[in-house]
Amino acid sequence: MNGNLQGGCLCGEIRFEVAGSITEFSHCYCARCRKATGTGYSSVLIVSSDQLRWVHGADHLRRYDLACASSFATSFCSSCGANLPRLTRDGRYAVIPAGSVEGDIPFHPEFHEFHAFKADWVTLGYVDLPIYEYENNHNTERRENQCEPPIMMRPAVSEDAASLTSIAMHSKAYWGYSSEFMRSAEAELSVKSRDILDPDVYYWVAIGEDIPLGFYALSKSSGSDIELDAMFVTPEAIGRGIGKKMMAHAKKAAVKLGAVRLIIQSDPSAAAFYQKAGGVITGKRESESISGRFLPILEIALEPGTDYV
Ligand SMILES: [Zn+2]
Ligand SMILES: [Zn+2]
């Protein structure tokens, strides 16, 4: 049995690949598998451990080794709880939950394992049961793992300057500002390569479908304060939780930089978003690019040691 398989968890944070031949494919009916999966049996593929490769998100993996067992363990995503591949305790084999594999698996299970432990309600041979097709099902939600790919955060590189400027300009224009206003704000909204390379400014980019969809920047302010210099989401990607994700990431990054307060000079239209994220309006500041225009200043109190993501 040979092939290349790909899979991942429900939320998409973790992805893996399996290359080469499959040693074993079976259904297991033991009580441990029932508990671990919450279903009647587990369907697993066994491969040699060097055939499994994590594509991304391995740091989100959690593992539970059942203490009384010689080898039983579970592996799951810390964000969504989905079952994922794990290595056997001796490290020789990888156990791949068949349901975590996407697309067809070009082999079929060869045997039933621990069949004597099968729960009475587990029926074998589903071909004898009526099959409810999707069209007749009372729940019309499609059950593919159809969510959009997750947003990943990565530090900006100098080559991102043009796309970050474009995101900032489009995002600002989304609030309905005049073209005259946008021209006055352009210099302040532009992100230059040298800004990204500035060691005192931290640019992070939100990536979806391999392209930047948003970004934020932190800079050291006075004392132990960190200022949020920018946070923008491209208008086409609004509604995907990118702002919320970036805000949580920014808090975590600011805590790592030793900050106890995050200071935000907000666009008046965005103040409500920052208030929802824990921001309190503490004053106003005159815009750098448009004199006479005052912008709300907010503060978010940060708890050192809190994992905001
Ligand atoms: Zn997940
Ligand atoms: Zn089992």
- Output the domain CATH number for residue 17: 2.170.150.70
Q: Does residue 113 sit in the same domain as residue 196? A: no
Q: Under DSSP, is residue 77 helix (H, G, I), strand (E, B) or coil?
A: strand
- Residue 140 is predicted with a pLDDT of 53
- Residue 110 is predicted with a pLDDT of 84
Q: Does residue 55 sit in the same domain as residue 126? A: yes
CA of 152 to the centre of ligand 2 (A): 34
What's the distance, CA 218 to chain centroid?
21
CA-to-CA distance for 291 and 277, rounded, in angstroms? 28
Does residue 309 form part of some domain? Answer: no
- pTM for this one? 0.60
Domain interval for residue 85: 2-136
Does residue 142 form part of some domain? Answer: no
Is 248:184 a contact under the CB 8 Å cutoff? Answer: no
Does residue 306 form part of some domain? Answer: no
- Residue 71 is predicted with a pLDDT of 86
Does residue 26 form part of some domain? Answer: yes
CA of 19 to the centre of ligand 1 (A): 22
Q: Does residue 256 sit in the same domain as residue 124? A: no
- Residue 224 is predicted with a pLDDT of 79
Residue 275: its H or E element: helix 271-276
Residue 277 CA: distances (Å) to CA of 220, 233, 247, 272: 20, 16, 7, 9
CA of 118 to the centre of ligand 2 (A): 10
Number of domains in the chain: 2
CA of 86 to the centre of ligand 2 (A): 14
Q: Does residue 156 sit in the same domain as residue 297? A: yes
Regarding beta strands 111-113 and 24-28, do their DSSP bridges make them parallel or antiparallel, or are they unpaired? parallel
Residue 152: its H or E element: strand 152-155
Residues of the chain short of pLDDT 70, as ranges, are 1-3, 125-148, 308-309
Phi, psi of 137 (to 5 degrees): -75, 140
Residue 222 CA: distances (Å) to CA of 149, 242, 260, 263, 298: 38, 28, 12, 10, 15
pLDDT digits (tens, 9 = 90+) for 244-255: 999 999 999 999
Q: Does residue 123 sit in the same domain as residue 192? A: no
Pick from 136, 162, 196: which residue ends a domain? 136
CATH number of the domain where residue 219 is located: 3.40.630.30
Q: What residues flank ion ligand 2 with Cβ within 5 A?
A: 28, 30, 33
